[in-house]
Structure formats: structure tokens, C-alpha cells
Amino acid sequence: MISDTELKQITNLAKLIIDENTKHETIKDLNAILELATQLGQIDTNNITPMAHPLHMTQRLRADKVTEQDQSKSFQSIAPKIGKQHYLVPTVIE
Amino acid sequence: MNIHDKTIAELAQGLKNKEFSSVELTQHYLDRINASDLNAFITITDEIAIKQAQVADQHIASSQSTTLTGIPYAHKDIFCTHGVKTSAASKMLDNFIAPYDATVSHKLNQSGLVMLGKANMDEFAMGSSNESSFYGAVKNPWDTNKVPGGSSGGSAVAVAGGLSAFATGTDTGGSIRQPASLCGITGIKPTYGRVSRYGMIAYASSLDQAGPLTKTAEDSAIVLNAIAGFDEKDSTSVDTEVPDYTQNLNDSIQGLTIGLPKEFFAEGLDDGVAKAIMAAVKEFEALGAVVKEISLPNSKYAIPTYYIVAPCECSSNLSRMDGVRFGHRCTDPTDLEDLYLRSRTEGFGEEVKRRIMIGTYALSAGYYDAYYLKAQKTRHLISNDFKEAFKKVDVIMGPVSPTTAFDLGSFKDPVSMYLADIYTLSTNLAGLPAMSIPAGLSQKMPVGLQMIGNYWSESKLLNIAHQFQQQTDWHAQTP
């Protein structure tokens, strides 16, 4: 179950800020969901393989050929900032 | 009959017979959308719609049209649409103008359809009530104090409220079937891999599947014909033959074996809903079907399994929304950490954050085996239950939702709303096709009958639904 310390670890990994005023409510809600998940402990899953794909298919491989056209102009047209054909992001390292 | 109550098949005939033009039809729907207070749309694309309708009218005049040419529809705001805002109902993507079309969007354009606008939905398709949208809740046209269901709530309301001839939707845990049920319309979630996921903003990649929301099974068949098929751009798309889904609609269902899972009729199911479902099953018996009780013993674990698997996939999929690669960017970040933290915190709504946190926790070191791996193993057991069931029956039937539409704001805690997904989640976990069709009313609100088929049996499901709709008129009832 999630404690204050674990919430801190989760929000750090998920890159989210949880307001101090809503922290307890958040922990309560998350623990209620994990409480649901404890039902899974009742099931015997020994010798059961995990199911990652509904049809048990593996990823298809394609020929090593260029299939996409250069659309950088179109993609950069919706970027907040561009310069010299690069995407400009806020300065975060001085 | 009002023009907006007509089915796609009827509208196509009207267009062909020159009873009305696509421009007139489109304007009629646009007028209704503008006069509506149901909040079914995030963006109304009136200029695009009229242009597409003009082109459609030219094609119809030169006999180059198909059944879908000139038909106006609502497109769930989860599908990328070139040059049009695609928000997934999130503040995070409020300013995202998609630079390309999703394959579904492309195929609909190729069919000569008219896009009226982008339909409202739960944020990133996470929700069962359409209350988590950044653009506000959608109202159910049968009773505006009630939810339309979710996450494709705007799509369902657009169809049920006579605001579009049909709508697109996506179904990760019931997001086509549940709103279709709560709004009294028809919806089909195809087999996983049947419809391309390319350009469909991902929530849980191993569960998401697109499908139509329509007035009738025949209309669903017509739309599915347009959107189904292999797509090289989607690595989970399956390369199998796509039949003509309208071909077998009129086949007899004499001798059909229907399985009723006892777990779907246990405690928690509303009496009025149960009564409507059993009355529908009796109709099928009258059509020559045979009913058998079956068991899906692990279906009771669908809720905990889904609410681990889906959040895990969502926490991974939404990591790209960081204010740099995608999504809302906070103002004046002090450093990279601040940029990520504030952009994501400001951009995501509460339910999305909750699912990201659960997924992050379940995938983190020390918890992966206990939660994610365990859920993936349970998923296998749930899928095996269906395999066993389909050795005995042709189709599984039951309710879509334990109740009819509930009041807006009535669920205060997330888990109690998750519990209402009990009958729809297991089919997504197994990747099976399933439908909701109108089966009756309970206290003047629609009840949906769920039909679950074996893999790739969409044609059979649509045939069964069509035969039911030839004998009943629940699908023709309007709010």
C-alpha cells in the first residue's frame, strides 16, 4: 500500500506534483485501487504465462527501406518555437 | 420521420434519389449541433463539413458515390485529423493541431464522408461517464441530468441526440458499448487488430480498438466496411481478410446457441436491466436460438486485472506528454525538472493523473511481479474462459452495464465507478469483438444488450443484431 514516502517516489517517477492539501485524498484513492488489485492474490497463476497480446502475436518486421517522406516542415509548423530547422525548447541548462 | 432520425442506409437512398443534397443534410445537422446544449462536440468543423458535402454532392451527381458518400458524422476527438485540433479532451493537447490523419480518418475521408466535428470524450478515453473531459461533461439526451457513459460519450450523444448520422468511437474497456447502451444506440468493438490504431491517441495499446456508434446494426456494418483492414502503419494491425459486413445481415439465426454467463446475472445487476435483457433473450429464442447457461469463472477478476494493465500501459504511453515532445508547456520553467513537473501537472486532469500514478507504481521495481505480471497472467485465465465458452456456444449475451445511465456527479470515488465496468472489461482483456444493441427501457432509460463473439466474428454479431432489430423497434426509439 502507498504511504507518504511512496507517493513521493511515484510522483517523482511520473513527473507529477500532488498538492499538499489533496495528498491524503490521493493516497486514499490510490490505495482503494490497489485494494481492488489484492483480489488477484486469490488466483493460482502458477504455470500460467503472462498475456501481453490478445492474439499472442509478435511484432511484425518490415523490409529495411525508407517508407516515410520528409515532413519536417509540416511537423515544425505546429511547434511552439523553431530555428534553423530545429525545434527550440526552453533553456534549462545555463 | 425527421431527417436526423434516418439511418445511414436511408440517408444514402435519400441522397441518391435527390430528396435532399449532402449540403442540405450537413447544414441540418450543423444547425442542430449549434442549437444543442448537450456538449457533445469539442470542435465543430463547419467549414470543412460544407466543403466535403459540396464535393460529395458532385460525386453523387456524377454517380461516383458509395453508400457513405455525403453522410455527416461525428469523429471522436482521439483520432488525429490533419489540420484540425485533436485534443483527446485534455488540456494537455488543447493546442494540438494534428499534422497528419489517423488511418481511420483517412479511410473515412476516402469514403466521401462529411466530418461535422470532433466529439467530446473522457480525457484520454479514461472514464465511464464523460465527466473527465477538460471541455466539460456531456449530457444524456434521454435525461440531461444523467451521464451518457464514456469514454465515447460525445459520440454516443451525437447519434442518440440526432446531431450526426453516426459517430466513431474507441473501446479500451467498454468505451463504445457502455455509452451506446446508456444512450440507446448500437455500437461495435471489433476484434483487437481489426481496425488500425495508427493516429488514434493511445491509452492502453494492447486493449484499444476503434469502432462505429450507429443507429442500427446495418449502419455499423456499413461503417465497419469502410474502416476495417490491415494497416502497415500499425504494428498491431492483423493481416486477415475483411469480409463485406453487410453480406450476411439477413441470414437466419435458427439454431444459434446463445450462452448466458451466470456471473453476468449475479448480485449487483439492476432488476430493470435484468428484465430487459431476459426479454431480449426471449426474442432470440422466438427467432430459433437455443439458450445455455455458461460460466466465465475468472470474469470477476476483470476489474482488478484491467485496472492494473490499463494504467501500466497508460503511464508508459502518456510519458511522451512532457511539454517538450508533446503537450502543454508551462510558462518560464526554471530547470528541466520544473518543466516536466509543471507541464504535466497543469496539463493532465485528476483521473488521468490517478491512472498514471497507479501504473507507475505497479511497474516500479519491487512491485512489477506482484501487480503487472500477476495481472497479465490473470488476463490469460480470463481469455481461456472465453475459449472454453466458445466451444459450447456461438455467442455470449448479457448486460453491458449493471444499471441504466446514472446521475451526473453521482460517483464521488473512482473505485465505485470502476465497478460499473464489470461486464465490458473482460472482452478487451481477451481482445474479442462485442456489441451493444438497444434492448429495452428501464424507468424510461435505455438498456443495452451485450453480445460477445469469438475472434473475427463481427459479421456474425452484426447478423444476430440485425435479425433482432428486424423484430423489435428499441433501436428506433428516440429521446
Distance from CA of A24 to the nearest CA of B (A): 13
CB B179 within 8 A of CB B150: yes
Indicate if B220 belongs to the active site: no
What is the spatial distance between Cα B128 and Cα B149, in angstroms, rounded to a whole number? 5
Distance from CA of A93 to the nearest CA of B (A): 7
Whether residue B69 has pLDDT greater than 80: yes
Task: Report the run of H or E that residue B115 belongs to, with start and end.
Answer: strand B114-119
Domain extent listing, chain B: 1-479
B 93-122: CB under 8 A from A: 96-97, 99-100
CA-based nearest residue in chain A for residue B454: A55
Q: Does B415 touch chain A (CB under 8 A)?
A: yes
Q: What is the count of residue pairs from A and B with beta carbons less than 8 Å apart?
A: 152
Task: Report the run of H or E that residue B51 belongs to, with start and end.
Answer: helix B46-61
R_g over Cα of chain B: 21
E-strand ranges in B269-358 read 290-294
| Contact check, Cβ <8 Å, A26/B357 | yes
| Contact check, Cβ <8 Å, A14/B360 | yes
CB B462 within 8 A of CB B245: yes
HSE, side-chain direction, 13 A CA sphere, residue B15: 34
CA-based nearest residue in chain B for residue A73: B99
Q: Write the CB contacts of B355 (distance below 8 Å, at least 6 apart in sequence).
A: B126, B310, B311, B314, B315
Q: What is the pLDDT of residue B412?
A: 85
What is the spatial distance between Cα B10 and Cα A59, in angstroms, rounded to a whole number? 42
Name which of B96, B341, B377 is nearest A48 (Cβ-Cβ).
B377
R_g over Cα of chain A: 23
Q: Does B232 touch chain A (CB under 8 A)?
A: yes
In terms of Cβ atoms closer than 10 Å to its own Cβ (0-12, 13-18, 19+), residue B412 is exposed
Q: Over the stretch B252-302, which tens digit does the pLDDT of each residue have?
A: 999 999 999 999 999 899 999 999 999 999 999 999 999 999 999 999 999
| Contact check, Cβ <8 Å, B342/A17 | yes
Distance from CA of B88 to the nearest CA of A (A): 17
Indicate if B175 belongs to the active site: yes
Q: Does B414 touch chain A (CB under 8 A)?
A: yes
The three cell numbers locating residue B268 = 449487483
B21, B151, B237, B457: the catalytic one is B151
Total residue length of chain A? 94
Measure CA of the first residue to CA of the last residue in chain B; give whole Å: 14
CB B156 within 8 A of CB B148: yes
Distance from CA of B360 to the nearest CA of A (A): 6
What is the spatial distance between Cα B182 and Cα B471, in angstroms, rounded to a whole number? 21
Interface residue of B196, B360, B432 to substitute, partner A, most A CBs within 10 Å: B360
B 339-358: CB under 8 A from A: 339-342, 344-345, 348, 353-354, 356-358
Any idea of the CA torsion for B134, B135, B140, B144, to the nearest 10 degrees?
A: 110
Name which of A6, A26, A55 is nearest B192 (Cβ-Cβ).
A55
Q: What is the pLDDT of residue A17?
A: 98
Q: What is the pLDDT of residue B289?
A: 98
Interface residue of B357, B417, B421, B427 to substitute, partner A, most A CBs within 10 Å: B357
B 289-318: CB under 8 A from A: 298, 300-301, 303-305, 307-308, 315
Q: Write the CB contacts of B232 (distance below 8 Å, at least 6 apart in sequence).
A: A62, A67
Mean pLDDT of B436-463: 98
Q: What is the pLDDT of residue B53?
A: 98
What is the spatial distance between Cα B40 and Cα B37, in angstroms, rounded to a whole number? 8
Q: Over the stretch A28-87, which tens digit does the pLDDT of each residue have?
A: 999 999 999 999 999 999 999 999 888 888 888 888 999 888 989 888 988 888 999 999
Report the top-level CATH class of B1-479: alpha beta
- Torsion angles phi and psi, residue B200, rounded to 5: -105, 115
In terms of Cβ atoms closer than 10 Å to its own Cβ (0-12, 13-18, 19+), residue B261 is buried
Distance from CA of A91 to the nearest CA of B (A): 8
| Contact check, Cβ <8 Å, B380/A6 | no
Average pLDDT score over chain B: 97
Distance from CA of A80 to the nearest CA of B (A): 9
Q: Over the stretch B206-264, which tens digit does the pLDDT of each residue have?
A: 999 999 999 999 999 999 999 999 999 999 999 999 999 999 999 999 999 999 999 99
| Contact check, Cβ <8 Å, A45/B381 | yes
B21, B22, B76, B133: the catalytic one is B76
Name which of B97, B371, B431 is nearest A55 (Cβ-Cβ).
B431
Which ipTM value was assigned to this complex?
0.94
HSE, side-chain direction, 13 A CA sphere, residue B434: 34
Whether residue B324 has pLDDT greater than 80: yes
What is the spatial distance between Cα B129 and Cα B473, in angstroms, rounded to a whole number? 26
Distance from CA of B39 to the nearest CA of A (A): 27
Q: Does B230 touch chain A (CB under 8 A)?
A: no
| Contact check, Cβ <8 Å, B364/A13 | yes
Q: What is the pLDDT of residue A62?
A: 83
CA-based nearest residue in chain B for residue A63: B232
Indicate if B6 belongs to the active site: no
Measure CA of the first residue to CA of the last residue in chain A; give whole Å: 40
Q: Over the stretch B37-57, which tens digit does the pLDDT of each residue have?
A: 999 999 999 999 999 999 999
Whether residue A94 has pLDDT greater than 80: no
Q: Does B367 touch chain A (CB under 8 A)?
A: no
Contacts of B193 in chain A (CB under 8 A): 54-55, 57
How many CB atoms lie under 10 A from the CB of residue B83? 15
- Supply the pTM of this predicted model: 0.97
User: B130: which DSSP letter?
Assistant: S
Between strands B290-294 and B114-119, the pairing is unpaired
